[in-house]
Structure 1
Amino acid sequence: MTPRFKYTRASQGDIQQLGSILEQCFVMSSGDSKIYAKGIGLENFRVIYREDIVAGGLAILPMGQWWGGQRVPMAGIAAVGIAPEYRGDGAAIALIQHTLQDISEQEIPISVLYPATQRLYRKAGYEQAGTSCVWEISAESIQIRQQPLPVEPIIPKNQTFFRELYQQQAQLTHGYLDRHPAIWQGLMRTSDSETLYSYLIGDKDQPQGYIIFTQERTKDDTILRIRDWVMLSNAAVQSFWSFIANHRSQIDKVLWKSSVVDALTLLLPEHSATIKNQDRWMLRIVDVCKALEARGYPSGVDAELHLEVQDDLLTANNGKFILSVANCKGKVTQGGKGELQLDIRGLAPLYTGLFTPRQLQLTGKLNATETALLTATQIFASESPWMVDFF
């Protein structure tokens, strides 16, 4: 760690200084940082000092993330901001390194963030681990008319109702969050010019999904922008598309977030939806043993993988490990043959399944015997990881 920097939990006075830094970093309106800080909670902010002056800071969002049907405790990193006069001075990497030590002491096994720059976070052991895509389609091109389920308006402030349905989808979706309250608050927050619309899909006593969206008029188009959605059955997906198609007389374009290969589009009559934007989020394994044991694994896999991991920052992760998988669970013991060798960065996309072991070997992220490659492919087989949320 760089000794000239001091890392600490944020005080009330620190938040005021950090708020000014964040408003400048993220081009926020004056006062927006206070609203953001209130939603996150003072206890979740960290700051870094340079010569007794707040040089920057960030927020740690305690959440969970679903991997293989199991909730893994996760620390989401958000609002990383460094004052302009301290950029390039080592403040950013010192802040991230101290934060990872902090997370490790809290015994949280993984951390996730959306990078403004990948180079900084790769230095701290993060690597690309999943996607979040914004899809776009013209309302006129949907052409789905059959609606097997009712779609009825529901009060958007009924967050408990939404959370219960969301969790059903989340635990089945590789990479989805067990959301922090601040993310739920952000989904429901609107500006003075926006109206939030929310609809239940299915009967109230047996709901099969929901949709939350806003509408806006631009110079060229009217846009229906979906903020959040849950669909738990084929009938729900058909009803969703039919409901959206019924907006075609007023709406030109529809935008929603999904995976890079979106199953919802399989119901469309033509390949008319396109990816408008794609983000890749990054993950850091903070505790190798806890992370590998906390996630779930494919049914029917009974295998043993011998790993050798290198971690220059969190040295407890260094060494050889045996991952034994059976009955959808993993057990880690020290030792083994080290037949699959990789650093902590290479372990992240292997853990999430963003890339196959063979792809990771091709790009120099790991080195393994042919047998170890095949075993790792079995163990980490999954759908492509993604999430609908940005933080």
Structure 2
Amino acid sequence: MTQLRVRDVTEADLAAILRIRARSFGPLGDGGERWWRRVADETLGGRMLAVVDADDTVLASGRARPFGQVWGGRHQPMGGVAGVYVDPAARGRGVASLLMRGLLARMAELGDGISCLFPTAPTLYRGVGFEFGGPLPRFTYAAHDLRALGSLSRGLRPRGAGPADAQLFAALMRADQQRNRLSGPRLVDEQEWRHELGDEDTIAYVLDGRDGGPTGFVTYTLSDETLRVDTFVADGRDAAAALWAVVGSGSSAAPTVHAFLDPRDPVALLAGAEARHDVEQQSWMARIVDLPKAVAGRGFSPSLAATAHLTVEDPDLPQNSGTWRLDVSGGSATATCVERPPTV
């Protein structure tokens, strides 16, 4: 371990990292080269790190993608850990843990308040402070039940959407997360929406609120007679009914609809149809990177007023260690360090 070190990934390392990825998860599929170039461009220069040996051979790599996430209806910067690849010959030597500690330190330097990931090895991530934060549930609906909701739409007609609507999609998503005081969903920014809406596999419809009307949008894909709804935003029952009806309109060709929805999201209730019982979920893990920033950046119930003291031990991010006083009032909170642990 003493000969291993963490450093920034450079353009020259990308081919070696891609080989490690292939050994770990298999080769890239169709469109994979474009995806790899896009995520590399996003994270090179500070958000992609590698573990190398004494000969500077890359043994592992990981990324901390620059995301935003909503907590209690407020948004804050979140480092999305992804692409953690470890060469099979280097496993069992603490390489992955060293990489994760390097990513945590870098996220703290870059101002991320929290970090999240979808785990393939929960024990590894628990060892560096992550814990399960929540699920990403997938509900399954009969498409004809959704199509029938058109009778509740009051004649609203969503239009097809494209890259020119990226700014609108980002604004509608942000407003929806704030309005419903959601916790956990990621905020997709305008640039990412522009890429998503330009993907030929993405089907998107929008109600843009012209003349003060309802707003909302839905994005989905079609494969093997099944629709997969990835994002659904609506500001009321009429908008939700109109958008659900579009999704279900092809029920003869795609009788099954999978939708990734937070069960607390009003859109799930506005579906009006009972989900089938084969509900699945994928769990995600979270970790505080900057304790006072994470506390100040999330929302709380406006009716809550409380003060509490807690002691934190964080050997990987020692700036979080100590005794903290949490003060909550008026929908906001602060964390103040009142005692640091003694130095040895």
- Scaled to the shorter chain, the TM-score interval is 0.7 to 0.9
Q: Sort the Cα spacing of 1:85 and 1:260 in 2 relative to 1 into closer, same or farther, 3 A.
A: farther
Alignment match of 2:100 (pick from 58, 82, 96): 96
1:154 positional shift: 2.4
Alignment match of 1:321 (pick from 299, 324, 343): 324
Alignment match, 1:365: none
Asked if 1 retains the 8 angstrom alpha-carbon contact of 2:240 and 2:271, the reply is no
Alignment match, 1:159: 166
Alignment match, 1:389: none
2:67 and 2:273 map into 1 onto residues whose CA distance is: 38
Asked if 1 retains the 8 angstrom alpha-carbon contact of 2:67 and 2:187, the reply is yes
Alignment match, 2:342: none
Asked if 2 retains the 8 angstrom alpha-carbon contact of 1:150 and 1:239, the reply is yes
Q: SS of 1:121's equivalent?
A: helix
1:331 positional shift: 2.1
Whether 1:144 and 2:149 are equivalent positions in the alignment is: yes
Q: Sort the Cα spacing of 1:185 and 1:134 in 2 relative to 1 into closer, same or farther, 3 A.
A: farther
Alignment identity in percent? 25
**Which residue type is aligned with residue 25 of structure 1?**
S
Alignment match, 2:44: 42
Q: Sort the Cα spacing of 1:32 and 1:196 in 2 relative to 1 into closer, same or farther, 3 A.
A: closer
Whether 1:248 and 2:251 are equivalent positions in the alignment is: yes
1:80 positional shift: 0.8
Q: Sort the Cα spacing of 1:85 and 1:154 in 2 relative to 1 into closer, same or farther, 3 A.
A: same
Q: SS of 2:196's equivalent?
A: helix
1:12 and 1:22 map into 2 onto residues whose CA distance is: 16
Q: SS of 1:235's equivalent?
A: helix
Q: Tell me whether 171-180 or 282-291 shows the greater mean CA deviation.
A: 171-180
Whether 1:74 and 2:78 are equivalent positions in the alignment is: yes
**Which residue type is aligned with residue 63 of structure 2?**
A
**Which residue type is aligned with residue 294 of structure 1?**
G
Q: Sort the Cα spacing of 1:331 and 1:25 in 2 relative to 1 into closer, same or farther, 3 A.
A: same
Asked if 2 retains the 8 angstrom alpha-carbon contact of 1:134 and 1:276, the reply is yes
Q: SS of 2:68's equivalent?
A: strand
**Which residue type is aligned with residue 200 of structure 1?**
V
Alignment match, 1:64: 68
2:35 and 2:149 map into 1 onto residues whose CA distance is: 43
1:77 positional shift: 0.8
Alignment match, 2:18: 19
**How many aligned positions are there?**
328
Asked if 2 retains the 8 angstrom alpha-carbon contact of 1:47 and 1:54, the reply is yes
Asked if 2 retains the 8 angstrom alpha-carbon contact of 1:150 and 1:202, the reply is no
1:114 and 1:241 map into 2 onto residues whose CA distance is: 28
Alignment match, 1:351: none
Q: Sort the Cα spacing of 1:74 and 1:23 in 2 relative to 1 into closer, same or farther, 3 A.
A: same
Whether 1:259 and 2:262 are equivalent positions in the alignment is: yes
1:270 and 1:69 map into 2 onto residues whose CA distance is: 27
Q: Sort the Cα spacing of 1:188 and 1:41 in 2 relative to 1 into closer, same or farther, 3 A.
A: farther
1:79 positional shift: 0.8
Alignment match, 1:361: none
Q: Sort the Cα spacing of 1:126 and 1:308 in 2 relative to 1 into closer, same or farther, 3 A.
A: same
1:228 and 1:290 map into 2 onto residues whose CA distance is: 28
Alignment match, 2:206: 200
Q: SS of 2:149's equivalent?
A: coil
Alignment match, 1:374: none
1:185 positional shift: 6.0
Q: Sort the Cα spacing of 1:48 and 1:307 in 2 relative to 1 into closer, same or farther, 3 A.
A: same
Query: Structure 1 residue runs of 4+, over 6 Å off?
Result: none
**Which residue type is aligned with residue 144 of structure 1?**
L
Q: SS of 1:224's equivalent?
A: strand
Whether 1:177 and 2:181 are equivalent positions in the alignment is: no
Q: Tell me whether 75-84 or 294-303 shows the greater mean CA deviation.
A: 294-303
1:205 positional shift: 4.9
Q: Tell me whether 243-252 or 160-169 shows the greater mean CA deviation.
A: 243-252
TM-score (norm 1): 0.76
**Which residue type is aligned with residue 209 of structure 1?**
G
2:134 and 2:297 map into 1 onto residues whose CA distance is: 18
Q: Tell me whether 20-29 or 146-155 shows the greater mean CA deviation.
A: 20-29
Q: Sort the Cα spacing of 1:135 and 1:270 in 2 relative to 1 into closer, same or farther, 3 A.
A: closer
Alignment match, 2:131: 127
Alignment match, 2:5: 6
Q: Deviations over 1:200-254 (max 9, x none)?
A: 12544545101122222x3xxx112223221122211121223333322322111
TM-score (norm 2): 0.86
Asked if 1 retains the 8 angstrom alpha-carbon contact of 2:135 and 2:281, the reply is yes
**Which residue type is aligned with residue 196 of structure 2?**
L
Q: Deviations over 1:111-149 (max 9, x none)?
A: 111111100000000000122122211212344241222
1:31 and 1:195 map into 2 onto residues whose CA distance is: 16
1:33 positional shift: 6.1
